[in-house]
Amino acid sequence: MPTILSQNLRKVYSVQKKRPGLSGSIRDLISPIHEDKVAVKDVSFVIEEGELVGFIGPNGAGKTTTLKMLSGLLYPTGGEVRVLGFDPWKREHNFLKSISLVMGQKNQLWWDLPAIESFNLAKDIYGIDGKVYQKTLDKLVQMLDIGDVLNVQVRKLSLGQRMKAELVAALIHSPKILFLDEPTIGLDVVMQQSMRVFLKEYNQTNPGSIILTSHYMDDVKELCKRVIIIDQGSILYDGLLSEVIARFSQHKIIEVITPSGTKTHKVLRAKVAEKAADLLKDPQVIDINIKEVEIEDVIRRIFAGEKKD
């Protein structure tokens, strides 16, 4: 049984259409008109135990909506979804004990309490054995290096400290699936890096799967072998990150080094050998390198709607 099975998943929001002007606003109050907004059109994929998958796409692509359906916060309009064999929407206790959703934009800890109180509360809610709880907590606190702020009111923590505390709260019951929706958003470069190091180590030392959305390609490059690219509610690509370039870029870069500096040429894949041989004819050339274009560039172009370069 796959960890996550999503088949033709669909979500249509009903949004109120605004009429123009003051009289329009009054009529909106009396007889609102609704229109459909297709957020997730048709999404199918399978995720196996232990995978760390990057779920990427431009703003409004449907990532958060999909994660909310997978974690049971939203009821799908169509299609089928099974997570660890459960129907997420039923939000059964055993399902909730097996997953966690962390949203970088949303605070899930008690704002006025020290983080440790939220963790203790989770211990009771999930019925975690005292010794197991202490062991998991110690390990997470050590890995995230937040021992010194556990007793500080959450509202007084920096964004980075708070995100780390959010992760502890999300992982304290050792879920089998962790959904991360932009966990590094707004963090400074150093804090982003320490989050990545943590997630990588966590994924390597714990069973279970992680689905990660991020707008930072560095997160995805460092953490995910597999990516699912979604755009306008449909899947554009599902496969190895390392193959995204070959699939979406028809070009390679030839770097030519001469005593006066380095020059780069963007060349069609099929013409690389021919072009390189041609460039080497110049006696000034000391060396040449053939490289792939940058993954950032490829992804940016895909997001901009240009499917091939």
Ligand X SMILES: Nc1ncnc2c1ncn2[C@@H]1O[C@H](COP(=O)(O)OP(=O)(O)OP(=O)(O)O)[C@@H](O)[C@H]1O
Smaller CB separation from Mg ion, 68 or 251? 68
Question: Could you tell me which of 16, 8, 75, 76 has the C-alpha nearest to residue 44?
Answer: 8
**Spatial separation of the C-alpha atoms in residues 271 and 14, rounded to whole Å:** 50
Residue nearest to Mg ion (CB): 64
Question: Smallest distance from the beta carbon of 264 to Mg ion, in angstroms?
Answer: 35
CA distances from 82 to 69, 72, 96, 227 (A): 10, 10, 13, 20
**Spatial separation of the C-alpha atoms in residues 286 and 181, rounded to whole Å:** 47
Determine the size of the site formed for Mg ion (CB under 5 A). Answer: 2
The contact pattern for Mg ion, residues 54-73, with x = CB under 5 A and - = no contact, is ---------xx---------
Smaller CB separation from ligand X, 110 or 216? 216
What DSSP designation does 284 have?
T
What DSSP designation does 173 have?
T
Question: Smallest distance from the beta carbon of 115 to ligand X, in angstroms?
Answer: 25
Q: Which residues are at the interface with ligand X (CB under 6 A)?
A: 13, 15, 37, 39, 57, 59-65
Smaller CB separation from ligand X, 59 or 260? 59
Among Mg ion, ligand X, none, the one that 60 touches (CB under a kind-dependent 5 to 8 A) is ligand X
Question: Could you tell me which of 174, 177, 176, 178 has the C-alpha nearest to residue 195?
Answer: 178
**Spatial separation of the C-alpha atoms in residues 215 and 44, rounded to whole Å:** 22
CA distances from 139 to 135, 144, 262 (A): 6, 9, 49
Question: Smallest distance from the beta carbon of 187 to ligand X, in angstroms?
Answer: 16
Smaller CB separation from ligand X, 62 or 160? 62
Among Mg ion, ligand X, none, the one that 57 touches (CB under a kind-dependent 5 to 8 A) is ligand X
Question: Smallest distance from the beta carbon of 135 to ligand X, in angstroms?
Answer: 35
The residues binding Mg ion (CB under 5 A) are: 63-64
